[in-house]
């Protein structure tokens, strides 16, 4: 009789394990490099040691800042190039010391020359900037004021394929985040917060950077929510809540007779509340270059001063700026589907250059009402070319 329950040794052979093509990742906890969340220690060296190990690894590396802990850092540089993609998961808090001291190149935390990098994690980067604000020249009117030494909190310089997401950045000494000389950037789900009276605390600053998206973020500071300046192109801003602050600015451009260029800027689905400006383009006299192909679309304003403004006579100096013989050209700017309330009587202010009038401006479905209600809003429009169009807009040029 044949035993049908008999099983050959071949039937017991193990099936081959499925191939896992996902590369191994080296996980580096900063505590293992000597970091101490004791409120006293400077953890700069521990962060840099963890970075150096990850950056020089032959496998993808992730540096972890543990949740529920606060690590003080005097200043730190994370420098590439790295051998492999690298990430930093900030679950806890990185915090600056509450004293004024010298920062190399006025930078607190800097990532430089890194390709394929992610910075994320739900944690906080705290600039602890109160002492710097008190000594700012904009607050402390008597000498000596020391605002010139205030650092930018977080800088990304010459980084490519960069993603920054799900972070809280608060109380920067000066500017919160600066993307400089970068390419292919996605910044999303950020909360950038500082008091309304904190001087020069721009939320996100973009300079000489191309192909960058700024998405789904809340920004409330003492200066521009987002500022886009020289050398930036292909910038997309989407789904932003802004205010308090100075609104969203292109510029300033052309300061000190410089030649500046920005192009292909799209700002869409933004809500501004209580800001001192709405959507703004600002250039200095005496500069040169072009700001072109800029579109502001689907913008909601609530009690915003200067909702729509182009100022080609920008002057942020204690003394009067002289008349100059050159200007930055502003051309091909669209304002579409912008509605809400203006806190200033002049809701649209196109103060363009008499030397180089603004060219090809288009207002389409702009509907702004006065705050408080009942007042009649005005549009001030000077030195515009004949190509300027008003389509179903209140007020209108």
Token reading at 17: 């394990």
Terminal Cα-to-Cα distance of the chain (whole angstroms): 102
Residues with catalytic function? 223, 246
Omega prior to 342 cis, within 30 of 0: no
Question: What residues pair up with 299 in beta bridges, in sequence order?
Answer: 270, 338
Rounded to whole angstroms, how far apart are CA atoms 219 and 193? 6
- CA 258 distance to own-chain centroid: 23
The two tokens of residue 117 are 């990098």
The SS3 call for residue 296 is strand
Q: Is the peptide bond before 252 cis (omega within 30 degrees of 0)?
A: yes
Q: Please give the Cα distance from 388 to 392 (Å, whole number).
A: 13
Calculate ∠ Cα 150-202-328, nearest 5°.
105
300 secondary structure, DSSP code = E
- For 146, what's the count of Cα atoms within 13 Å in the CB-facing half-sphere? 16
The two tokens of residue 79 are 């420098």
How far is the C-alpha of 191 from the C-alpha of 124, rounded, in Å? 9
Short-list 253, 248, 150, CA closest to 199? 150
Q: For strands 107-112 and 177-180, give the pairing.
A: unpaired
CA distance 217 to 163: 14
| Cβ partners under 8 Å of residue 85, min gap 6 | 60, 116, 117, 118
Report residue 243 as tokens. Answer: 């205010």
CA 323 centroid distance within chain: 32
Round to whole Å and give the CA distance between 287 and 333: 19
Please name which of 130, 234, 102, 220 lies closest in space to residue 168, comparing C-alpha atoms: 220
């Amino acid at each position: 009789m044949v035993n049908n329950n008999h099983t050959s040794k071949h039937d017991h052979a193990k099936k081959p394990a499925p191939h896992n093509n996902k590369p191994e990742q080296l996980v580096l906890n900063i505590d293992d490099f000597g970091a101490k969340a004791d409120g006293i220690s400077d953890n700069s060296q521990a962060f840099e040691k963890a970075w150096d190990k990850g950056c020089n690894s032959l496998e993808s590396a992730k540096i972890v800042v543990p949740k529920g802990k606060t690590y003080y850092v005097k200043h730190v540089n994370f420098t590439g190039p790295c051998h492999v993609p690298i990430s930093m998961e900030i679950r806890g808090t990185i915090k600056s010391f509450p004293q004024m001291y010298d920062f190399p190149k006025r930078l607190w935390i800097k990532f430089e020359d890194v390709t394929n990098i992610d910075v994320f994690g739900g944690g906080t980067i705290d600039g602890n900037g109160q002492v710097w604000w008190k000594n700012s020249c904009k607050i402390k009117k008597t000498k000596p004021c020391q605002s010139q030494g205030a650092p930018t909190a977080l800088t990304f310089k010459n980084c490519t394929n960069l993603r920054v997401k799900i972070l809280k950045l608060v109380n920067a000494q000066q500017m919160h985040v600066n993307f400089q000389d970068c390419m292919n950037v996605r910044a999303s789900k950020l909360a950038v917060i500082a008091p309304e009276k904190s001087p020069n605390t721009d939320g996100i600053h973009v300079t000489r950077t191309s192909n960058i998206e700024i998405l789904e973020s809340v920004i409330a500071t003492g200066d521009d929510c987002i500022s886009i300046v020289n050398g930036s192109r292909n910038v997309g801003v989407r789904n932003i809540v802004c205010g308090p602050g100075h609104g969203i600015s292109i510029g300033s451009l052309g300061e000190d007779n410089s030649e500046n260029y920005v192009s292909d800027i799209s700002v869409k689905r933004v809500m501004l509340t209580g800001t001192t400006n709405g959507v703004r383009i600002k250039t200095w006299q005496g500069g040169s270059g072009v700001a072109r192909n800029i579109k502001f679309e689907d913008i909601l304003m609530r009690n915003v001063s200067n909702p729509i403004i182009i100022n080609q006579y920008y002057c942020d100096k204690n003394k009067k700026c002289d008349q100059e013989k050159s200007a930055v050209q502003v051309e091909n700017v669209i304002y579409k589907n912008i509605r809400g309330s203006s806190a200033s009587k002049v809701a649209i202010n196109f103060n363009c250059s008499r030397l180089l009038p603004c060219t090809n401006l288009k207002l389409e479905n702009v509907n702004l009402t006065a705050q408080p209600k009942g007042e009649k809003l005005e549009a001030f429009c000077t030195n515009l070319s004949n190509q300027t169009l008003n389509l179903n807009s209140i007020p209108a040029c």
